[in-house]
Amino acid sequence: MLRDLGLAVRAADDKGATAPVALDVAEQFGLADAFLIVSGSVERNVQSISDAIEDALNDAGVRTVRREGRESGRWILLDFGDLIVHVFHQEERDFYQLERLWKDCPAINLASVLDTPGGAADLQ
């Protein structure tokens, strides 16, 4: 799961995603181990970020179980089994505040899952 999380974070960053947050939801949510939450600036950016994440994980052999919200580009959910990715337009992220809703779940240190020089410092 950490490898997949790292791939998703890098793919999102390559498309300009901002404010990545990963949460360990395994104890509170029986259907996945982690959530990755990222933001895009406009609908097309949100769609581009989600496409890049899905392509990167599919290329690594991780199957997409479910995809929701692609058409609107405001909140796209990508379900990869152990990892669920939420790609938000910033307005939706501010409104729904998933990080606050899941505040009892520990954050995953993204620097520890990235093996690139600079770790999370490369992320916006």
Q: How confident is the model at residue 55 (pLDDT cuts 50, 70, 90)?
A: very high
Pair type for strands 75-79 and 18-24: unpaired
Give the pLDDT score at 93. 97
Structure confidence by residue, pLDDT tens digits, 38-52: 999 999 999 999 999
Cβ atoms of residues 3 and 52 within 8 Å? no
Q: What is the pLDDT of residues 2-54, one digit of tens each?
A: 899 999 999 999 999 999 999 999 999 989 999 999 999 999 999 999 999 99
Tokens at 43, concatenated:
């609908």
- What is the second-level CATH architecture of the domain 2-109? 2-Layer Sandwich (3.30)
Delimit the domains of the chain by residue range: 2-109
- What is residue 115's DSSP assignment? -
pLDDT at position 2 is 86
